Structure 1
C-alpha cells in the first residue's frame, strides 16, 4: 500500500514515518512539510493512502483534502492532528480515519486494518444492489431486503433529499431551510454536520460505493453502481417502442414494476413534483394500454388493468367510465351498474357534485348497448 505523509513539523513527520515502518505493509512514496509541494506530488502521483495534518503552516488541511478528493476520489485520507475539535469535520470529508497525536503503533494498525477491510469489501463481487423509492425507501441485495437502522428521522430524510437530487450539488443553506428552518445559524450547521456524519456511519459500511462529497457550500450524493428503482423505471418508460401486439408484454411488465407512487409512504413535501410526474406517466401509459386492449376486443384484460388504475387512483373519473364501457362490451349489466353507482357516490362524497350530462349520456348509451 503506497502512502504519502504531510506534516509541517519535521519531527512529527519523522515520528510518523518510523511508526508506519514499524507497522509494515506500507510503502512511503512521499514525505512533505510543504502543503503545495505535497499537493503537486499527490495529484501527479496519487497514492493509496494520504496521512494529512489538519494545520500545515497556515494551510487548512481540510481544504487541501477537498482538492485532492475532487481530483482523485479513490485516495483514502487519514487526518492527523492534536485537536479533537476537527473530528466531525474530518469524517464529513469521508476520511477513512482520524488519529490524534501522539500516534501509537496500535492505533496505526487499527487504521490500516479498517482500510484493508474496506478494500476487501469493495473487491468482493456483490449482487445487484437496489435502492427503492416506490413507494417507500427500501434497500435490496438481489431479491433480499437489507434492513437499515436509521439513528434519527432527520438522517433518513436528508439521505432521501440528497438522493432526490442525485449527482447534483445541493446547497447547505437549502438543506438547512428544509430540515432546520427554525434553528439559529450555528446550531443548524452543527446539526447538519452531525446528520451527514450519521448517514455516512449508517450506510458506508453496508454500501461502500455510497459517497457524500462536501464542496464547502454544498453536498453531492454519489451511489456508484447501485441501482435506483424509479430512475430505471423512468428510463425504461422513455425507451418504450410504439404499442403493438409484439411490444405489449414490455408495456405490461413496465406497469407491473411500478410498485407505488414515489416516496408516497414517506410523505415528504419536496417529493411531490416528482411523485406527480411519475404517477402521471404510469396512469397515462396504463390508460393507453387499457384502451388498446379494448380496441383489440381483449375486454377481460382491459378490465383487469382498468380495475388496477381505479385502485391506484380512486378519484379518477376516467377509470370508472372506462370500466363502464368494458362491462357493457362484456354484457355484464351488474358490474356496469355497480361502476356507475360507485362513480356517482364518489363524486358526491369527494367533490359534492352530481353526474355531468356527459356522464349521464355515457350511462344511457351503455345501457342501450346492454339491452340490444
Structure 2
C-alpha cells in the first residue's frame, strides 16, 4: 500500500477549509470559526454546504432545521440565521489573494451557498474515489491504488457525527459505504500482489467502520490461515461471535462458519 502523509492531501495554498469527516471544522483564512452566533447558524451552513451551488427551498430548510419543533415563526428564524451567516462570512479576517469568497444567494424561493477558494474534505474524498474507479476501469491499478489510498486518508471518520438530522445521517451512511468500497478494492489489489499484511490492514479498517462485517472476518481468517497462524484464526472467529452477539444478538452466518473451519483445516 502506498502510504501518503496528510500534508499531501492538504490544499496546496488555501488557508480556508471545511472538514466534515470525523468532525466538523470550518477555517477561514487560517482562523477556526468557533462562534456561530446562534444555535441554527452552524446547522444552516452545514445543510447549504451539502447542497453547494444548488438552491434549497425555504420549506426544505425549515423542515431540516426545525423539524417538528414548536417554533411559531420558523420563516423569520430562517431569515435571521441567513443574515447571521452572511455576517460571519464578511467578518473573516483578511489573508491575501487566496481569500475565500463565500456568499448566499436567494433564488427559486430558496437559498444557495456559493464558495470559491474553499477546500472541502468530503468533495476531495468523492473526487479521489471517482478518479480511482475510472483509473481501475482504464486498466491502471497502480494509479488507482494511489487515489484509493488518498481517499482512505481523507476519511477521518463518520460524516458530521454530531448531527442527528435525517439528511446528515443519510449522507453519513453513503460516505461510510464509499469508504468500505475503497478498502475492499485496496484489499483486492493487495491480495493480487500477495501482500497479505496490507490485506489485513484494510480488513482491520473495515471492522473499525463496521464491527459486524462478516466478510472482513472471513478474509482475516483466510489470511491468517495462509500465514499458518491457527491461533489468530480462532481469535478472529471468537471476536466475530462476540461482536455479532453483543451488537446484533445473532450468530455468525453459515459462510463465516464455513470460512472458519476451512481456515483451521489449512492453517
TM category, shorter: 0.7 to 0.9
Number of the residue aligned with 2:122 = 230
TM-superposed CA distance for 1:127, in Å, is 3.0
Do the aligned partners of residues 358 and 208 (structure 1) sit closer, same or farther apart at CA in structure 2, a change above 3 Å counting?
closer
TM-superposed CA distance for 1:157, in Å, is 0.6
Confirm or deny: 8 A CA contact 1:130 1:227 kept in the other structure.
Answer: yes
From 108, 113, 118, the equivalent of 1:221 is 113
Number of the residue aligned with 1:334 = 231
TM-score (norm 1): 0.60
Confirm or deny: 8 A CA contact 2:16 2:119 kept in the other structure.
Answer: yes
Which of the pair is proportionally richer in strand? 1
Map residues 280-319 of structure 1 onto 2, 5 A cutoff.
Answer: 280-319=177-216
For the residues of structure 2 that align with 1:283 and 1:249, how far apart are their CA atoms? 16
* Equivalent position SS for 2:46: helix
For the residues of structure 1 that align with 2:106 and 2:266, how far apart are their CA atoms? 66
TM-superposed CA distance for 1:231, in Å, is 1.2
Aligned residues: 243
For the residues of structure 2 that align with 1:244 and 1:217, how far apart are their CA atoms? 46
Q: Taking CA–CA contacts closer than 8 Å with sequence separation of 6 or more, which of the two structures ends up with the larger relative contact order?
A: 2
From 44, 48, 61, the equivalent of 1:158 is 44
* Equivalent position SS for 1:223: strand
Do the aligned partners of residues 230 and 282 (structure 1) sit closer, same or farther apart at CA in structure 2, a change above 3 Å counting?
same
For the residues of structure 1 that align with 2:39 and 2:28, how far apart are their CA atoms? 23
User: Any idea what the Cα deviations from partners look like across 1:210-242, whole Å, max 9, x if unmatched?
Assistant: 101123721111112212211121112111211
From 79, 101, 104, the equivalent of 1:212 is 104
Number of the residue aligned with 1:367 = 264
Confirm or deny: 8 A CA contact 2:212 2:243 kept in the other structure.
Answer: yes
Number of the residue aligned with 2:4 = none
User: Any idea what the Cα deviations from partners look like across 1:247-285, whole Å, max 9, x if unmatched?
Assistant: 433322221221112212333321122222221111012
User: Any idea what the Cα deviations from partners look like across 1:293-319, whole Å, max 9, x if unmatched?
Assistant: 123211111111211111122121111
From 19, 25, 43, the equivalent of 1:138 is 25
For the residues of structure 2 that align with 1:268 and 1:231, how far apart are their CA atoms? 20
For the residues of structure 2 that align with 1:345 and 1:152, how far apart are their CA atoms? 44
* Equivalent position SS for 2:113: strand
Whichever of the two has the greater Rg, that structure is 1
For the residues of structure 1 that align with 2:131 and 2:102, how far apart are their CA atoms? 27
* Equivalent position SS for 1:325: helix
TM-superposed CA distance for 1:145, in Å, is 6.1
Confirm or deny: 8 A CA contact 1:135 1:263 kept in the other structure.
Answer: yes
Map residues 77-226 of structure 1 onto 2, 5 A cutoff.
Answer: 127-140=14-27, 146-180=32-66, 181-183=68-70, 187-206=73-92, 209-215=101-107, 217-226=109-118
RMSD: 2.2
User: Any idea what the Cα deviations from partners look like across 1:73-99, whole Å, max 9, x if unmatched?
Assistant: xxxxxxxxxxxxxxxxxxxxxxxxxxx
For the residues of structure 1 that align with 2:84 and 2:120, how far apart are their CA atoms? 22
